Amino acid sequence: MIQVEGVSKIFQDNKREYYKVLSDITFTIETNEFVCILGPSGCGKTVLLDILGGFSKPTAGQVLIDGEVIDGPSPNRITIFQDYKLLPWRSVRKNIELGLESKKLTKSQIDDIVDEQIELIGLTGFENYRPAEISGGMKQRVAIARALAMEPDVLFMDEPFGALDTGTKEAMQLNLKHMLQSGRTVVFVTHDVDEAVFLADRILIMRAAPGAIHSIIQVDLPKPTFKYTRDFNAVRDRVMDEMALVSNK
């Protein structure tokens, strides 16, 4: 369980003036729940995710995971970024192996884990390709596989499909659902309403100046979820109405 309690964040600009980016944010995420954070540009979504991942400390408040206060990054909580962060000189296989190299595993154990992930992401035959030799969608699959190979308790995802074309993005959304069938706590930042409704169990909508939680919407859709059904569109319309309110403020 993730507990966010009264989190605020204040930055100082180059004129030594202080401004509040986040204000008194409080919410709870249950174990194995998929939560999307949605909001207009500049509302502090990425700043909040950095705090949840332990990369930044709040000015006030605290974040707890399973009752422990977060004071830094951990291999049990992995963040996947939009720009993949793959090592260009390493192959697909070697990039997926990266985090496993710090664990006390035999080469055979590592090979088995990586083989399983490569099959899961549909990149069999591309194991020895380098990042420059594969598409953006493939790179993002490698980044996700590298994270899942570590078997983290929590995945933080910062607009991971934001730079992909529409077709690749929709394929990646389906792939992600397939890859997470075994259950995982996920916090997913996006600006795409359809993506949020398709993926999330709940959607947290933020307003800006300073960033705060405007509303929380439960996504109760049949599983598997299909886009643009009557039920999907009803949830989407509700989210769009809430987004219109925060965008006009």
Tokens (6 digits) for 225? 């979820």
Is-contact 134 86, C-beta < 8 A?
no
Where are the domains positioned within the chain?
1-73+187-249
Rounded Cα distance, 52 and 170, in Å: 26
What share of the chain in percent tops pLDDT 70? 98
Does pTM surpass 0.85? Answer: yes
CA nearest 234: which of 221, 245, 246, 223? 221
Q: Report the pLDDT value the prediction gives residue 195, as an integer from 0 to 100.
A: 94
When the pLDDT of each residue in the chain is averaged and rounded to a whole number, the result is: 90
Query: Cα dihedral angle (88, 92, 93, 94), rounded to 10 degrees?
Result: 10
Mean pLDDT, range 116-124, rounded to an integer: 86
DSSP letters spanning 180-194: TTT--EEEEEES-HH
The predicted-structure confidence for 17-75, as pLDDT tens digits, reads as follows 778 899 999 999 999 999 999 999 889 999 999 999 999 999 999 999 999 999 888 88
SS3 135: coil
Q: Name the DSSP letter for residue 214.
A: E
User: Are the C-beta atoms of residues 62 and 7 closer than 8 Å to each other?
Assistant: yes
H or E segment and range at residue 236:
helix 230-247
Q: 249 pLDDT exceeds 90?
A: no
Q: What is the CATH number of domain 1-73+187-249?
A: 3.40.50.300
The three-state secondary structure class of 90 is coil
